[in-house]
Amino acid sequence: MDVLTFGESMVVFSPNINGPLRHVHSFSKSLGGAESNVATALAKLNHSAGWFSKVSDDEFGRFVISSIKAEGVDTSRVIIDKERPTGLLFKERYQRSNPNVYYYRKNSAASSLSPEDIDEEYIKQAKILHITGITPALSESCRRAVYRAIEIAKENKILVSFDPNIRLKLWTVDEARKILVDIASKADIVMPGLDEAELLLGLTNKDDVADFFLNKEAKIVAVKLGSEGCYIKDKKEGVKVAGYNVSDLIQDTAGAGDGFAAGFLAGYLEKLSLNEIGQYANGVGAMATLVQGDMEGYPYYDQLMEFIGKRQGVER
């Protein structure tokens, strides 16, 4: 398996009209979850990916599993929890802005993940273990599960990839800073946004951010620069890779950062140059913003190649 990841995936309810939720009476149902987003995007790029979590023993839990499995992701280690619910997320939209987000995930099935739920043999099958900063924010047991998974990966020479993915509705900046910097310092691949790096490290220069993690255990760092693209640096060189101009942007960038992570990992696994890895990452991230929903816009490999100019498309 190329990449294994784990964390909470939720059922997302998006309003069919803009305005306060008290005036909204119909919603569209979809799937959301940073880790399953990454796994889904990787599978569509022809890389083997696995995702595990806990979900409830109900139709929402079945929806989560079936949606992720349908995209070609291995879900064989997902645990069914008969006592706790699957997490829910409601979006609230206003004109020309990312939506407000309301979580209903406290005491959810996924928040009860613990070190005992981490399957060592399953992790040992992977080339890369991908972690986000959302999982350790869910509960103390989730935090311990993350550290246990990292420990197993390190013991078995499996690369650890980390996206801070700060969610300040789940914990405070001070809590996040302490844990996320510690986890990032153990990772081989680190993918912070420049704004996240400022919150976590107090650094605003992309080289300084990259060097901070390269001086820990990181082999490569990708600093996300939003619409400007990204800056990728390893022990030998650093390159800035321009972003892609997206004119048909849907006003909901959820899933773009996860798409970036998947594109980056795909390029890294294919042993591409830093510039090409950045093109993959920026391309998948940009394409995620063209379609409503967290994961619906992720491209297949041929679509990505056409988008980033590596292949000519055939319209008719």
Closest CA to 110 of 83, 128, 130, 90: 83
Which residues are CB-neighbours of 211 under 8 A, at least 6 positions away?
A: 233
pLDDT at 296: 83
Name the CA radius of gyration of the chain, rounded: 18
Tell me the pLDDT tens digit for each residue of 40-82.
999 999 999 999 999 999 999 999 999 999 999 999 999 999 9
Find the CATH number of the domain harbouring 35. 3.40.1190.20
Instruction: Answer yes or no: is 95 within a domain.
Output: yes
Q: What is the mean pLDDT of residues 86-103?
A: 85
pLDDT at 295: 79
Instruction: Answer yes or no: is 63 within a domain.
Output: yes
Is a pLDDT exceeding 90 seen at residue 148?
A: yes
pLDDT at 290: 85
Whether the predicted model's global pTM rises above the 0.85 cut: yes
Instruction: Answer yes or no: is 312 within a domain.
Output: no
Q: Which one of the listed residues 252, 258, 294, 302 is annotated catalytic? A: 258
150: confidence class by pLDDT, cuts 50, 70, 90: very high
Instruction: Answer yes or no: is 213 within a domain.
Output: yes
Instruction: Answer yes or no: is 313 within a domain.
Output: no
Q: How far is CA 293 from CA 34, 181, 262, in A?
A: 12, 30, 17
Is 208 among the residues known to form the active site?
Answer: no
Tokens of 162: 């980390």
Domain encompassing residue 143: 3-302
Tell me the pLDDT tens digit for each residue of 194-245.
999 999 999 999 999 999 999 999 999 999 998 899 999 999 999 999 998 8
**161, β-bridge pairs:** 130, 189
pLDDT at 313: 58
Collapsing DSSP to helix, strand or coil, 236 comes out as coil
Closest CA to 109 of 65, 73, 74: 65
Instruction: Answer yes or no: is 308 within a domain.
Output: no
Q: How many domains is the chain partitioned into structurally?
A: 1
pLDDT at 152: 97
CB 218 within 8 A of CB 191: no
- Give the Cβ contact number of residue 314 at 10 Å: 6
CB 86 within 8 A of CB 56: yes
Provide the Cα torsion 209, 213, 218, 222; round to 10°. -20
* Average of per-residue pLDDT values in the chain: 93
Instruction: Answer yes or no: is 36 within a domain.
Output: yes
Instruction: Answer yes or no: is 309 within a domain.
Output: no
